[in-house]
Amino acid sequence: METIYQKIEELDVCGMFTLRSKLWEIAHPNQNSMCPPPAKVNTKGAPKKTTSRNPRSTKRDPSYWEYVDAFESQQNSNSSVRRTASSSEQPNRRTMMPILDQFQPFMHDFIDKIVDVKADGNCGYRSVVGLLGMGQDSWSVVRNHLLKELANFSKDYIKLFGGTERFEELRM
């Protein structure tokens, strides 16, 4: 309990709200939004395939490489150009993301999600908490964690940035 009280004294308003909601979930488990799964889920192994072939058959299943070779030969028959692993073709995007075209095409494969945040001086923090699922108004929590990180490892960051001027600029 002492640790919780110390943590409460260190937190800002957003952090206190988050901590209070977590404590409420612990104290009142029947009032939170979490519920048990409707049925026991089997997490061991893949589902077994039912085979319809004769159990006395001597025909074997094709190996992985035979599947790949068959797939490639099918692809080659459909197109006259053979594809290689080093091909520079862009793969099809699984989902269309808004404003993705504002980034260079070589970056598209590295972008998983785009969050559009309010453009103010804290938009970097807002994007981080938006991607963490904390809500964009909790940006001060991330900012405070980063400031604590800078304070705890100030000597390392001063070396990294090449002097105290850049460190203080970043801290401010």
Using CB atoms within 10 A of its CB, is residue 141 exposed (0-12), middle (13-18) or buried (19+)? buried
Q: Distances in Å between the alpha carbon of 107 and those of 97, 103, 111? A: 13, 7, 7
Domain boundaries, the chain: 114-171
- For residues 71 and 64, give the distance between their C-alpha atoms in angstroms, rounded to a whole number: 11
pTM exceeds cut of 0.85:
no
User: Which ranges in the chain belong to alpha helices (H)?
Assistant: 2-10, 13-27, 64-78, 123-132, 139-152, 154-161, 164-171
Q: Which of the four pLDDT bands, split at 50, 70 and 90, describes residue 93?
A: very low
pLDDT at 95 over 70: no
Q: What is the DSSP string of 74-107?
A: HHHHH-SSPP-TT--PPPPPSS--TTGGGS-GGG
Token pair listed for 109: 């494969």
Decide: 16 and 8 in contact? Cβ < 8 Å: yes
Collapse the DSSP code of 99 into the 3-class scheme (helix H, G, I; strand E, B; otherwise coil) and give the result.
Answer: coil
pLDDT bracket for residue 14 (50, 70, 90): confident
Q: Residue 115, SS3?
A: coil
Q: How far apart are CA 4 and CA 19, in angstroms?
A: 9
Q: What is the 3-state secondary structure (H, E, C) of 25-60?
A: HHHCHHHCCCCCCCCCCCCCCCCCCCCCCCCCCCCC
pLDDT digits (tens, 9 = 90+) for 31-75: 666 666 677 777 777 777 766 666 676 777 777 777 677 777 776
Give the CA angle between residues 114, 120, 123 to the nearest 5°: 35
pLDDT, one tens digit per residue, over 105-120 is 888 888 877 777 778 8
